[in-house]
Amino acid sequence: MAFKNESLINTGELGRAMKRRREELGLSLRDVADVTGVSASTLSRIENGTGKPDADNIARLTNWLDMPVDRVLNKQGGSDEVEAVVYYPHEPTPEIVEAHLRADKNLTPETAKALSELFRVAYSQFSKPRD
């Protein structure tokens, strides 16, 4: 099977997830670099969509994000099958909902992103803090 000349990793997805988590935690790129062992310049390039992380950095970052690496893999082969949504049971609900919206073949990527953001806002507004 011949693969198209495209990355196996969706760096845009990884970058958005990193930036969102970093901002939620109030961390700088340097703070994340200290925790993950990935340089701040590499983190910046990934967040800006210009970086191509290597396997070690992908593993470090998905571990820090507490997200399955499958979430940032590009689907190969052009199949029309429904994409399986993979998540950890302890993953935050907004992340799980976003993954399901992105996998929905009836939604454009823009619509899935908009619905995800709407859900995040509503979830943060209406969710109760754990005791």
Residue-level pLDDT at 20? 85
Determine, yes or no, domain membership for 2. no
Q: What CA–CA distances, in Å, run from 104 to 16, 29, 79, 90, 126?
A: 19, 32, 14, 22, 25
Encoded tokens for 60: 């470090």
Same domain? 53 vs 103: no
Taking only the tens place, the pLDDT of each residue in 9-18 is 788 888 888 9
Residue 117: give the domain boundaries. 80-131
pLDDT value, residue 2: 44
Q: Does a structural domain hold residue 1?
A: no
Residue 128 domain flag: yes
What's the structural domain count of the chain? 2
Higher pLDDT, 2 or 31: 31
Distance CA 123, CA 19 (A): 19
Mean pLDDT of 119-131: 80
Which tens digits make up the pLDDT trace of 85-99?
666 666 778 888 887
Q: Among the three residues 34, 56, 74, which one is the final residue of a domain in this structure?
A: 74
One domain, residues 61 and 96: no
Q: Does a structural domain hold residue 103?
A: yes
- Whether residue 102 sits in one domain with residue 126: yes
**Helices and strands, counts by H and E, the chain:** 6, 0
Question: Over 80: is that where the pLDDT of 1 sits?
Answer: no
67-122 confidence digits (pLDDT tens): 888 777 776 544 445 555 666 666 778 888 887 887 788 888 889 889 988 998 88
Classify residue 56: in a domain, yes or no. yes
